[in-house]
Amino acid sequence: MTSDEKKAILLLKSVIFHYHGLDNEEKEILDRTAQEFDALDELQWANEFIATDYYTAFERARDYLNSIVGNLDKDKRLQYLSMVWEANGAKGHVTEMEATAMLKLAKDWHVQKELMAVIRDKQKL
């Protein structure tokens, strides 16, 4: 996995988690993800990206992610969004704002229908 892909995954998770303010459980999930992907520098980069201007972080991240993830194959784009959905589920809930943000990205990446199918499948479990 390239550094750009690691940045994309960590920025994606971070910006969704920061949507309503990052709590300790979300920070732990981000730290585990960074360790799993050997991406501590990329996590630091994502944190700095968001901290630059918290209020515009999602739109700036959206532009950045569209330039990186938008060029990946469809399965990989869906995998990234599914990974974030699962991470939100691991904390026990997905807020409406988080779901809306993920759906906006899914629409940008042309995987909205596929993400909805993944979500439905996970709801059945």
Q: How far is CA 106 from CA 48, 102, 113, in A?
A: 24, 6, 8
**Tokens matching residue 84:** 């974030």
What is the three-class DSSP state of 54?
Answer: helix
Domain range holding 90? 3-124
Q: What's the chain's Rg over C-alpha atoms?
A: 13
For residues 78-107, average pLDDT: 90
Instruction: Check whether 86 has a pLDDT greater than 80.
Output: yes
65 burial via Cβ count (<10 Å: 0-12, 13-18, 19+): buried
Burial class (CB in 10 A: 0-12, 13-18, 19+), 55: exposed
How many domains does the chain contain in total? 1
Q: What is the predicted pLDDT for the residue at 12?
A: 95
Do 84 and 16 contact (CB within 8 A), yes or no?
yes
Residues 6+ apart with CB under 8 A from 41: 3
Please tell me the predicted confidence (pLDDT) of residue 71: 85
d(CA 51, CA 61): 12
Render pLDDT for 38-55 as a digit per residue (tens, 0 to 9).
999 999 999 999 999 999
pLDDT (tens digit per residue) in 54-78: 999 999 999 999 999 988 999 999 9
pLDDT value of position 125? 53
